[in-house]
Amino acid sequence: MTQTSKTDNSSPRKRTRLPSEVRRQYILDAALDEFSMSGFEGATVERIARKAGITKAGLYAHFTSKEALFEALLDTIMLPVVTDDAWVLSSEGTLESAVDSFLDMLYGDSKTTRRLTIMRLLLVESGRNPQRVQQWYQQSYRPYIQKRQRALESYLRQHTSHTTLTSGQIALAFSPAVLAMFWQMIIGGESAASEIAAIKASHREVMLRLLSTD
């Protein structure tokens, strides 16, 4: 009689202990996949945990609820961490370099799959549950944009004569990048790439004209 060897399926698989931040990213990746496939209401914590390779209790050790996980996912992708001096003109820099750095910040990740996926999810969820999206906008996205606007205002006060621009006018500095994102979402591929390049070039020209003191 031949003895059958044990396979991996004959005993529970030993779980790998990962750093908390790595495990958290696994959960966020699984959540993005689940939310994009099923929407917020259709998504389940059980499936997200299974896709992340952990138990439901393990997921709750990182996120207290499905709502908290959804908001964390939006924050991670839509609110990139940048320092206030990441693009602001330094005393040794030029207006062109400051504008180029600012545009790189806005357009740099416009083609990433994660960003496009979360934008599509936001559009869908804004129709299904506008209150949830509005709450995230008021609590997270609006303060983030206001911080970016304050950084731009600080640059204007220090390096140009354009001290009378209103916050609404400054907000226009972000608008073309949003248009570029929608082109990428709707068209994609090389066609979108050429459109986005043209938008970015026009955006640069407009900003240089508006901010120039010549």
Q: What is the CATH number of the domain that holds 178?
A: 1.10.357
Question: What is the pTM assigned to this prediction?
Answer: 0.67
Q: Are residues 21 and 92 in the same domain?
A: no
pLDDT bin (cut points 50, 70, 90) of residue 131 is very high
Same domain, 90 and 180: yes
Give the tens place of pLDDT for each residue, 93-117.
Answer: 677 877 787 777 777 655 567 777 8
- Residue range of the domain that includes 153: 79-211
pLDDT in tens, 23-53: 999 999 999 999 999 999 999 999 999 999 9
Judge whether 10 lies within some domain.
Answer: no
H, E, C per residue of the chain? CCCCCCCHHHCCCCCCCCCHHHHHHHHHHHHHHHHHHHHHHHCCHHHHHHHHCCCHHHHHCCCCCHHHHHHHHHHHHHCCCCCCCCCCCCCCCCHHHHHHHHHHHHHCCCCCHHHHHHHHHHHHHHHHCHHHHHHHHHHHHHHHHHHHHHHHHHHHHHHCCCCCCCHHHHHHHHHHHHHHHHHHHHCCHHHHHHHHHHHHHHHHHHHHHHHCCC
Q: How confident is the model at residue 192 (pLDDT cuts 50, 70, 90)?
A: confident
Specify whether 86 is located in the same domain as 190: yes
